[in-house]
Amino acid sequence: MTTATMNKSGLMAPPVAQTMQQRSLVIGVIAAIASVAGVFLAPGSFYSAYLIGFMFWLGLSLGCMAILMLYHLVGGAWGTVIRRILESGMMTLPLMFVLFIPILLNLPTLYFWARPEGLTDPKIAEIAHSYLNFNGILVRYIVYFVIWIGMAYFLNRWSTEQDSIVGQSTLRFRAMSSIGLVIYSLTISFAVIDWVMSLQARWISTIYGLLFIAGEALSAFCFCVVIESILGKRKPMSEYLTDTEVHDHGKFMLAFVMVWAYFNFSQWLIIWSGNLPEEIPWYVRRMNGGWETVALFLVVFHFAVPFALLLSRQLKRKARTLVWLASWLIFMRIVDIFWHIEPASHPTFHISWVHFAIVAGIGGLWMAHFFHNLRSRPLLAVNAPQTLRLLEPSHE
């Protein structure tokens, strides 16, 4: 099959994508209205819940961008089949840019360093004076998003251009991605220091950014498996998505489950070994008052059980079995972020309906935006390397 005979309209997303988009929008709008009501009905829960929802869905956008960059650098059929999913996922970044504004306008509610009583601690006052203050957060928030949206915009635009040009060099994708992955690692590290790590006053961890990088990559792969379980049964994805690629995505899930556990254990072991008063409060807070149950739940169901299950070849090879584990891990990603953020404002275990409303509200809008992006172009980048091979009849 040649590009000339390939029917681009035959590669558009199936009607189910439109249905999903409409349903997502309905769920998103209803849950968003409920969330807004939460500002008044449950003000004590709203802002930390909002930060949890924001960090999870932002992580998914950025995870999609990072995996897309990884694909541009190393290539492979595993990435060609999910490339448009990743691109559509990362192009939700402008939405996340807007959704940060409520956090920006309510820093004192969330962050100790932004409150007047925080400034009575001389060390916090010093940090708040030089780095952690409204202007600093504002400037850095704009810088992070300009960089992220800029990189996503060009990778996405070039990808659209590639659809109409045969045999074009992929150099610019690779150049952008090689620099982009470095920039992404640095910016996300600074961003989580600003938005999440600083929730715990006076506490620092140098591996903190990596915890989020590993989690975001895991979220992105799980999300791709969920989408391919929906679209993979229908044309056109059923024509080119095979067990081999699903198997690869399963292997990536296993790798990132392990990387997530490895980074978390590294941080914990070093702090446990040192046992120093300035390092342990983060864990003391998160291993008391009911939060220890959540911590144990994470160890068992974000690492141990998924790890054991993902060792199975049969489970990894079929999208219809892998999707259960992928959905579960997406849920555990939210629990992980919940465990990072919520204990900072509540010393004992606390959850309210607002948490669910906000995760669903931001999520519904995110998904609607995602499906809108996905439907605007063919599901397969027709001129990408590997694409022709994927469409060959002998490709099993």
Q: Closer CB to other proteins, residue 134 or residue 265?
A: 265
In the numeric block, which tokens belong to residue 62? Answer: 């950025």
129 near other proteins (CB under 8 A): no
Closest CA to 60 of 254, 219, 213, 196: 219
238 near other proteins (CB under 8 A): no
Q: Closer CB to other proteins, residue 157 or residue 313?
A: 313
- Minimal distance, residue 262 CB to other proteins, in Å: 9
- Minimal distance, residue 269 CB to other proteins, in Å: 6
- Minimal distance, residue 315 CB to other proteins, in Å: 13
- Minimal distance, residue 392 CB to other proteins, in Å: 8
Closest CA to 111 of 356, 341, 337, 355: 341
- Minimal distance, residue 356 CB to other proteins, in Å: 34
DSSP labels for 304-344? Answer: IHHHHHHT-HHHHH-HHHHHHHHHHHHHHHHHHHHHHHHHH
Query: Which parts of 275-304 interact with other proteins (CB under 8 A)?
Result: 275
394 near other proteins (CB under 8 A): yes
In the numeric block, which tokens belong to residue 120? Answer: 């009575």
Task: Work out the number of other CB atoms within 10 angstroms of the CB of residue 33.
Answer: 12
Mask for 307-326, x = binds other proteins (CB under 8 A): ----x-x-------------
Closest CA to 90 of 176, 25, 29: 176
Query: Which parts of 255-274 interact with other proteins (CB under 8 A)?
Result: 265, 268-269, 272-273
CA 87, CA 156: separation in Å to the nearest integer? 6
- Could you say which of 40, 130, 171, 396 contacts other proteins (CB under 8 A)? 396
Q: Closer CB to other proteins, residue 190 or residue 265?
A: 265
- Minimal distance, residue 274 CB to other proteins, in Å: 9
134 near other proteins (CB under 8 A): no
395 near other proteins (CB under 8 A): yes
Q: Closer CB to other proteins, residue 244 or residue 293?
A: 244
In the numeric block, which tokens belong to residue 328? Answer: 């579960």
Mask for 239-258, x = binds other proteins (CB under 8 A): -----x--------------
Q: Closer CB to other proteins, residue 253 or residue 261?
A: 261
106, 147, 266, 198: CA torsion to nearest 10 = -20
Helix (H) or strand (E) holding 248: helix 243-274
For tokens 């300009």, name the residue. Answer: 146
Mask for 197-236, x = binds other proteins (CB under 8 A): ----------------------------------------
C-alpha R_g of the chain: 21
- Minimal distance, residue 260 CB to other proteins, in Å: 15
- Minimal distance, residue 396 CB to other proteins, in Å: 3
- Cβ 172 vs Cβ 158: under 8 Å: yes
Which residue type, as a one-letter code, is found at position 324?
W
CA 146, CA 142: separation in Å to the nearest integer? 6
Instruction: Give whole-number Cα distances, 306 to 87, 202, 269, 332, in Å.
Output: 27, 34, 22, 10
Q: Closer CB to other proteins, residue 117 or residue 396?
A: 396
- Binding residues for other proteins, rule: CB under 8 A, are 244, 265, 268-269, 272-273, 275, 311, 313, 392, 394-396
